[in-house]
Structure 1
């Protein structure tokens, strides 16, 4: 399968290792491979593109029942108004931002993720956008997307507690 190629100024190798001078054919092949891998991760894996280093994807499961798709995403500590759930055609997007906590003293170590997050998934069939439910309980966001026989329309889904 052929994939579209996005072009940037300067090759990936030139940006990463400016002291090495690769020939243009080799650098172009690595750029092409980088872009294809980025596109693959973005569309198939539900992960943001490799070039979007400021974004990260929350841990999530997507499973299918007879009449719906169910996504369960781990978002501990998030409030429902800080989560955005959108469906467009067959693409589900869950996004938001973890804010860093205000604390006293000097932070010596931190392993918590902060900043913008985004989970994306392309569903194999159309869904009933008017019947989609999103529920946040105990730090797990559950989005239920009923299957539809007709084409979907864009809609914003409110998260409930």
Structure 2
């Protein structure tokens, strides 16, 4: 009886998939949670506020950068477990970038991280609207 040529390949792919999901390869186990970061950008009186959900990371594992008008959030976390017979390695890495419209005072950017929520304040220069608008002239 002749087997379909792709049966063997499908069997091998399934074995690899199981090995990766179960962490038996010695490589980092696949984490279905390795999606992007949920980011929101809002504007307030002082500028912009970016709120990012990055649960499961320590503050030291988060790299936050502002460059070329974009805010970049990158976080990496690795763990290893040994049970005497085998070792399991887990790695989680997320990265997201968001463009911030308008001019930002980079020296005054401030960030805080509490309970898995990163909050970044991006101050903008005072707007032209705050300056003296001059005298209104009525047209006859």
Q: TM-score with structure 2 length normalisation?
A: 0.55
Q: Is the 8 A contact 1:89 1:126 kept in 2?
A: no
Alignment of 1:50-69 (within 5 A): 56-69=35-48
Aligned to 1:115: 92
Shift of 1:144: 0.6
Q: TM-score with structure 1 length normalisation?
A: 0.48
Q: Greater share of strand residues, 1 or 2?
A: 2
Aligned pairs, number: 90
Shift of 1:75: 1.3
Alignment of 1:134-149 (within 5 A): 134-148=111-125
In structure 2, the CA distance between the partners of 1:70 and 1:103, relative to structure 1 (3 Å rule), is farther
Structure 1: unaligned runs, 5 residues or longer = 1-54, 105-112, 150-161
CA distance in 2, matches of 1:136, 1:103: 31
Aligned to 2:75: 96
CA distance in 1, matches of 2:96, 2:57: 15
Structure 1 ranges of 4+ moved more than 6 A: none
CA distance in 2, matches of 1:102, 1:68: 44
More divergent stretch after superposition (92-101 vs 119-128): 92-101
Structure 2: unaligned runs, 5 residues or longer = 1-33, 84-89, 127-140
